[in-house]
Amino acid sequence: MIKKLLFLFVLSFFAEEAVSQAESYMLVYKPGKKRRYQYHIGDKIIIKPVRNFPTIHGMISGFSDSAIYFDRDDSIHFSNIETIVVNEDPRFFPKYLWLVNLISTGGTIGLWEVVYLVNAGHLSPDVKAAPYIIGFATLGPVVVNTVVRIFTRTRCPVGQDLWHLGVVRFP
């Protein structure tokens, strides 16, 4: 009986902690637009303060109506935030896909040429196209990721007529 009560006590403690953390989040929004970014307690955030202070990288440990608190007993007031980085490194393809494509297409074409050379005694007539195929397969993901980086919003400048910050609390 005591074990059951102890279990229920521990369970209720963790449930209360989870509910209290889920009750509030910070919202980065632009008035009149649909795009919004939510930050919860425990999320990582990158903030560029005003007046050339160093950029803050940290995990959010709490919110108030006008400030963000971090793990290292640091905080920043909403009025001192110049920019919030919402997506540090946007990509469409994985970062090292070019290397995988280089190895796989280069290896496949190289193996094909070796088999053709052994069977026919000379290189295939398509050997001149091999560098183009390998180059396209290798550089394709790099070009697409670069275009995605150019056209993806990664920074939200905070201020009047720009992006706004707010804390949403649920009772």
Residue 49 three-state SS: strand
Residue with tokens 């999320």: 43
- Taking residue 1's Cβ as centre, other Cβ atoms within 10 Å add up to 5
Q: Within the chain, what is the greatest distance between any pair of CA atoms?
A: 84
Q: Is the pLDDT of residue 37 over 50?
A: yes
Average pLDDT in the chain = 79
How far CA 96 is from CA of 12, 17, 34, 92, 108, in Å, comes to 45, 39, 33, 12, 18
| Alpha carbons within 13 A on the beta-carbon side of 29 | 12
Q: Where exactly are the structural domains of the chain? A: 25-86+155-169, 97-149
Average pLDDT (42-49) is 87
Residue 87: Cβ-neighbour burial (10 angstroms; 0-12, 13-18, 19+): middle
| Dihedral sign for Cα atoms in the order 22, 26, 32, 33 | negative
- Is the pTM for the entire model greater than 0.85? no
**Integer Cα distance of 26 and 115 in angstroms:** 61
Residue with tokens 């005591």: 2
Token pair in block for residue 42: 């425990």
Give the pLDDT of residue 19.
Answer: 47
Which range has the worst mean pLDDT, 9-18, 41-50, 142-151? 9-18
Q: Which amino acid is at 78?
A: F
Q: Is residue 145 very low, low, confident or very high in pLDDT (cuts 50, 70, 90)?
A: confident
Q: Is residue 14 very low, low, confident or very high in pLDDT (cuts 50, 70, 90)?
A: low
